[in-house]
Amino acid sequence: MKKKMKYTADIESISKHEVPEWFHDAKFGIFIHWGLFSVPAYAITGIDLMKSLAKGVDHHTKYNPYAEWYLNTMKIDGSPTQKYHEETYGKDFSYDDFVPMFNEAVKEWNPDEMAGLFKQIGARYVVLVTRHCDGFILWPTKQPNPNKENYTSPRDIVGELTKAVKQNGMKMGFYYCSAWEWTFNPNPLMDRESFEGNYINPPEYTDYVTNHWYELIDNYEPSILWSDMGYPPGTNVNEIFAYFYNKTPDGVVNDRWDHHLPKEKKVIKNHHDFLTPEYRTFKKIKKDKFEVCRGIGNSFGYNKFEIEEDHLSIEELIHMLVDVVSKNGNLLLNVGPMADGTIPEFQKQRLIDLGKWLDVNGEAIFDTRPWKKPRARTIEGINLRFTQKPGLLYAILLDNPKSNEFTIKDLQIGDISKIELLGYDNEVSWVQKDKNLQISLSSKLENAPAYSFKLILK
């Protein structure tokens, strides 16, 4: 029996930790942003995150499309969120006044129903926001907020969902905003200077955050630690990693644990198992494991003003998943529940439709690895992505060919014994024409967002 490796709290030891096979195999997880911000459920719509960021920090913070940033955005004079808040609730209505509203609504939540949906659609793991930047806590912590009384959910949302997720055979992970907390540092982020200033918190904040992480690890035994915004300085985060890995050798930690030191104008990089690009991905296969995180719409937290056009179409969603997987990534797709835990209909329907596609094509996604190249095109102009398993190559066609025959450019494979089309009874024949592979089908394909061809190699 292989002896468990014991990690010590130093980078030499921690860096020996390897990404476990389950995380490589998983490919698809669910992110959940849920909290007080789910009550007002407002952010400006029609804003593309990357275009907003390109206009500068001052513009982005004022016109932030993320509903979970409601507390910060409502403090910025002239922001759409501030205007909405005052017109809807009044100037004297504070963010704290959402606490009893959330706590009443959450009584209706059914964790088994939520976890069951995630299992149904094929998700392999779930990452729950346990405490966002607003500071509201979703579990009965023994380390309560010293600046706010009763700033905790009366239900153990973390514990109840963790139990339901694990009972459904999925892995559980926890997001926690480590570096920022707007009850310790209430100054709004409005520009680059205040952005850096939010990293400056009192010394007791570091202990507060660290104690929360150990509490989450001990009480709920997660498989994923998902920090955000960095980590308060003055902490050896390798101690947290060593403690976590020794309890959960096949656990993983993300890449947002770095120490930001505004006074020194530098960032100290810390260990990670995977990268976390947000609302974007990579153009090429990455040697390092990564996980794309994004909402189905333009916000992580529930925004009741988003319309269908603000959400990814099912074609866009499937194509994104296929593209990410072909390059050594996972997709962490976010849902933003309403305050009572209901997943909005637009989001739920996208999940169900994605699950139906995975029922047919999941073999080409789950448990695969990147091939020697991620993409190709047909002579007719249709894009493809590739994944592989031992003895198998999957070519995923991202559009419906106009005829029963198409040719993949620059795909020269001489050892094919058979080609199958997942989910179809079509007979598939092929012929190698110089550097191109011509594929012929016995009948025309029905419309679908993507088609997975399974090349069985000799």
DSSP per residue over 243-271, as a string? HHHHH-TT-EE-S--PEEETTTTEEE---
Model pLDDT, residue 416: 95
Radius of gyration of the chain (CA): 23
**For 95-110, what is each residue's pLDDT tens digit?**
999 999 999 999 999 9
**For 195-207, what is each residue's pLDDT tens digit?**
888 998 899 999 9
Kindly tell me if the per-residue pLDDT of 262 is higher than 90: no
Instruction: Quickly count: other Cβ atoms within 10 Å of residue 120's Cβ.
Output: 14
Long-range contacts of 312-321 (CB under 8 A, 24+ apart): 312/350, 314/350, 314/353, 314/354, 314/357, 314/449, 315/449, 315/450, 317/350, 317/353, 317/354, 318/354, 318/357, 318/449, 318/450, 319/398, 319/449, 319/450, 320/281, 320/292, 321/27, 321/28, 321/354, 321/365
**For 211-228, what is each residue's pLDDT tens digit?**
999 999 999 999 999 999
114 within some domain? yes
Q: Which residue has the higher pLDDT, 29 or 197?
A: 29
Classify burial at 377, counting beta carbons within 10 Å of its beta carbon; exposed 0-12, middle 13-18, buried 19 or more.
Answer: middle
**For 135-145, what is each residue's pLDDT tens digit?**
999 999 999 99
Kindly tell me if the per-residue pLDDT of 1 is higher than 50: no
- With tokens 């990410």, the residue in question is 324
Last residue of a domain, one of 317, 340, 364: 364
Least confidently predicted of 188-202, 240-254, 377-391: 188-202
43 and 141 part of one domain? yes
223 and 338 part of one domain? yes
Model pLDDT, residue 426: 87
Model pLDDT, residue 402: 87
Model pLDDT, residue 299: 97
The band of 54, judged by pLDDT with boundaries at 50, 70 and 90, is confident
pTM for the whole structure: 0.97
CATH number of the domain residue 295 falls in: 3.20.20.80
251 and 152 part of one domain? yes
Q: Where are the strands (E) in 342-435, listed by range? A: 369-377, 383-389, 392-397, 405-408, 416-421, 428-433
Classify burial at 248, counting beta carbons within 10 Å of its beta carbon; exposed 0-12, middle 13-18, buried 19 or more.
Answer: middle
1 within some domain? no
Query: What separation in angstroms does the CA of 157 have from each of 59, 118, 131, 140, 220?
Result: 34, 16, 11, 9, 11
Query: What separation in angstroms does the CA of 177 have from each of 133, 182, 213, 342, 351?
Result: 6, 11, 11, 23, 26
Model pLDDT, residue 51: 80
131 and 184 part of one domain? yes
Query: What is the distance between the alpha carbons of residues 248 and 245, in angstroms, rounded to a whole number?
Result: 5
Kindly tell me if the per-residue pLDDT of 389 is higher than 50: yes
Model pLDDT, residue 47: 83
Q: Which backbone phi and psi does 224 adopt, to 5 degrees?
A: -135, 130
**Tokens at 201, concatenated:** 């918190």
Last residue of a domain, one of 364, 379, 396: 364
75 and 143 part of one domain? yes
205 within some domain? yes
316 within some domain? yes
Q: What is the mean pLDDT of the chain?
A: 96
Pairing of strands 224-228, 171-177: parallel
3 within some domain? no
The band of 163, judged by pLDDT with boundaries at 50, 70 and 90, is very high
Mean pLDDT over residues 327-346, rounded?
98
57 and 154 part of one domain? yes
Q: What percent of the chain is predicted at pLDDT more than 70? A: 99
**For 405-448, what is each residue's pLDDT tens digit?**
999 999 999 889 999 999 998 899 999 999 999 999 998 898 99
2 within some domain? no
**How large is the greatest C-alpha to C-alpha distance in the chain, in angstroms?**
74
279 and 168 part of one domain? yes
351 and 380 part of one domain? no
Measuring CA to CA, which residue among 37, 50, 49, 51 is closest to residue 81? 37
- State the residue range of the domain holding 427: 369-457
CB 286 within 8 A of CB 323: no
CATH number of the domain residue 401 falls in: 2.60.40.1180
Kindly tell me if the per-residue pLDDT of 93 is higher than 80: yes
Mean pLDDT over residues 65-79, rounded?
97
Rounded to a whole number, what is the distance in angstroms from the first to the last CA of the chain?
Answer: 35
Beta bridge partners of 56: none
Sign of the dihedral through C-alpha 290, 370, 448, 402: positive
Last residue of a domain, one of 338, 364, 390: 364
394 and 274 part of one domain? no
The band of 2, judged by pLDDT with boundaries at 50, 70 and 90, is very low
Helix, coil or strand: residue 434: coil
317 and 427 part of one domain? no
Mean pLDDT over residues 312-318, rounded?
98
> Number of folded domains in the chain?
2
421 and 357 part of one domain? no
CB 188 within 8 A of CB 72: yes
Query: What is the distance between the alpha carbons of residues 383 and 392, in angstroms, rounded to a whole number?
Result: 20
6 within some domain? no
Mean pLDDT over residues 3-21, rounded?
91
Beta bridge partners of 225: 174, 253
5 within some domain? no
106 and 130 part of one domain? yes
CB 93 within 8 A of CB 85: yes
